[in-house]
């Protein structure tokens, strides 16, 4: 079983739509959680951290359910510029590197 699992998509949505991505992780000792965005042939860039209380940044809302080991990302009012691959990322703590999910591809269409 992969340490971080995501639906690869692609999710094809019209502009203005609301779209949700889900992610599950297997290591219950994981301590930090993130969503990264990766554009084609580019490096990943941090979109937002994910906190147990849930957090919002503009059109983006992230939530964490530790009991279910489940992370979500909600994008409201999708823009064409939101088209990218969204990576669910987990840090198991200490000096370890990040563990990446395989990513969910989003394509927002006009």
Partner 1 sequence: GAVVSQHPSWVICKSGTSVKIECRSLDFQATTMFWYRQFPKQSLMLMATSNEGSKATYEQGVEKDKFLINHASLTLSTLTVTSAHPEDSSFYICSARVTVLHSSYNEQFFGPGTRLTVL
C-alpha of 8 from chain center? 11
Q: Does 32 help bind partner 1 (rule: CB under 8 A)? A: yes
Options 29, 41, 67, 110; binder of partner 1; rule CB under 8 A: 41
4 vs 40, 58, 59, CA distance in Å? Answer: 21, 26, 24
Only segment of 22-30, 37-45, 54-62, 70-78 that touches partner 1 (CB under 8 A): 37-45
Residue 91: which region, alpha, beta or left (left: phi > 0; alpha: psi -120 to 50)?
beta
Q: Does 1 help bind partner 1 (rule: CB under 8 A)? A: no
Nearest CA to 57 out of 82, 76, 42 is that of 76
Binding letters toward partner 1, positions 44-83, x by CB under 8 A: xxx-------------------------------------
* Binding-site ranges for partner 1 (CB under 8 A): 32, 41-46, 87, 91, 95-103
């Amino acid at each position: 079983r992969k340490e971080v699992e995501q639906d690869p998509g692609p999710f094809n949505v019209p502009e203005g739509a609301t779209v949700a991505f889900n992610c599950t992780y297997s290591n219950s000792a994981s301590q930090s959680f993130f969503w990264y965005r990766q554009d084609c042939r580019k490096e990943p860039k941090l979109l937002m951290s994910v906190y147990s209380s849930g957090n919002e940044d503009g059109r983006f809302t992230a939530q964490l359910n530790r009991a279910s080991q489940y992370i979500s990302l909600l994008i409201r009012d999708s823009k064409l510029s939101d088209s990218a691959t969204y990576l669910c990322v987990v840090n198991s703590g200490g000096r370890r590197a990040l563990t990446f999910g395989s990513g969910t591809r989003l394509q927002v269409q006009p």
